[in-house]
Structure 1
Amino acid sequence: MNAFTQEINSCLEVLEKGGLIVYPTDTVWGIGCDATNKEAVEKVYRLKQRPDSKALICLVGNDAMLERIVEKIPETAWDIMDLANKPTTIVYDKPKGVAPNLIAEDNTLAIRVASDKFCRYLINAFKKPIVSTSANIAGEPTPSNFSKITLPILKGVDYVVNLQRDTGDAVSSSIIKLSNDGTVKVIRE
């Protein structure tokens, strides 16, 4: 079994038990868990020392999974995903099938279709969306690479992926809010 497959299997084992992982994404290193497991999502908020009123991002592995967890995807979303020149997270109205504590107070959820090979394989093998939030304590700088993740985060999760650790500095995704009424708002460029 190659290292890539071993890492996927190790992550799957942890995710299926409601545990937390630190893993490489198409943007910065993230803390991840089963996005449908309320207790797992709660562990992420506790680890980040962040109030659960500040919603987390959710990653899906493909368009079909996105369609399963959002009531209605505005046409504009497909255009944005096709035209984006960097990873772009879209905030959708009326998410469904995810942990209730993952959904923001205004009944929205930030979701990105992962473009990173490791993320896509992991999410598609897990068959459920995965939480992705930067691997840092709330209020601390977002770590731009693996070496900048602090010990409390690394010790606070059940598994740390041992791939892609020596990549250069990464940047966070763009975030765009698309309301079902047609409103488009750029939250983070």
Structure 2
Amino acid sequence: MEEDIKKACEIMQKGGIILYPTDTIWGIGCDATNPDAVKRVYEIKKRTDSKALIILVDKESKVEFYVEDVPEIAWQLIELSEKPLTIVYDKGRNLAENLLAEDGSVGIRITKENFSKKLCDRFRKAIVSTSANISGEKSPVNFGEISDEIKKAVDYIVSYRQEDFSTPAPSSVIKLGKGGLIQILRP
């Protein structure tokens, strides 16, 4: 695992794209602050950049670095959530502009899974996390379901957990809006 983390960080520092296991499914990742790398992720997925990408971080303090104003309810949701939770916040900052949604919002998940948490900690910046599939196609549940097209398009494929055939569920997604508005996008 340590060698995978070291190599993945080196690749992302150079603007490269990785294929890696997360707290939910396998993801395509890159430096979330690098607009050229983010653009490549959209190209690999054949997805328009009007559909925002989410990011992974390893601790709560990083949420405050990437969001202008974190509503108090977010901390309660994070604390109470028993499964992976992606929260969409207004006014993302310190990220590649082409990663944000058209309204400037950003989806952030604090990962608790061992590999992705260590990867985020070692990289010291937010990492893009989007499903390892072409846009519109079924999301692969485990490494064996990832298409060769995706595998050939990335710069590094993490070895860790390739033999794991469990079927993790996607994260819940909640949007926090102005005035305390809470919108459940995916239960």
Shift of 1:169: 1.1
Distance 2:106 2:54 in 1: 7
Distance 2:66 2:53 in 1: 15
Aligned with residue 141 of structure 1, among 138, 141, 146:
138
Residue ranges of structure 2 left out of the alignment (5+ in a row)? none
Aligned with residue 3 of structure 2, among 2, 6, 9:
6
Q: In the alignment, is residue 172 of structure 1 matched against residue 170 of structure 2?
A: yes
**Matched letter for residue 178 of structure 1:** L
Aligned with residue 20 of structure 2, among 4, 19, 23:
23
Aligned position for 1:187: 185
Indicate the larger mover: 33-42 or 110-119: 110-119
Shift of 1:100: 0.1
**Matched letter for residue 181 of structure 2:** T
Q: Percent identity between the aligned chains?
A: 48
Q: SS at 2:107's partner residue? A: strand
Alignment of 1:108-123 (within 5 A): 108-123=105-120
Distance 2:169 2:54 in 1: 15
Does the CA-based 8 Å contact 1:70-1:93 persist in structure 2?
Answer: yes
Does the CA-based 8 Å contact 1:30-1:135 persist in structure 2?
Answer: yes
Size of the aligned set, in residue pairs, is 186
Shift of 1:166: 2.2
Q: In the alignment, is residue 77 of structure 1 matched against residue 74 of structure 2?
A: yes
**Matched letter for residue 130 of structure 1:** I
Distance 1:66 1:30 in 2: 20
Does the CA-based 8 Å contact 1:72-1:180 persist in structure 2?
Answer: no
Aligned with residue 90 of structure 1, among 87, 90, 103:
87
Question: Post-superposition, which runs of at least 4 consecutive aligned residues in structure 1 deviate over 2 A?
Answer: none
Aligned with residue 152 of structure 1, among 135, 143, 149:
149
Q: In the alignment, is residue 44 of structure 1 matched against residue 41 of structure 2?
A: yes
Residue ranges of structure 1 left out of the alignment (5+ in a row)? none
Distance 1:86 1:152 in 2: 30
Distance 2:168 2:49 in 1: 26
**Which string of whole-angstrom CA distances, capped at 9 and with x for unpartnered residues, describes residues 3-35 of structure 1?**
x11011110110000000000000000000000
**Matched letter for residue 157 of structure 1:** V
Cα RMSD of the aligned pairs, angstroms, is 0.7
TM-score (norm 2): 0.98
Distance 1:61 1:85 in 2: 16
**Matched letter for residue 135 of structure 2:** A
Distance 2:162 2:149 in 1: 18
Distance 1:120 1:58 in 2: 12
TM-score (norm 1): 0.97
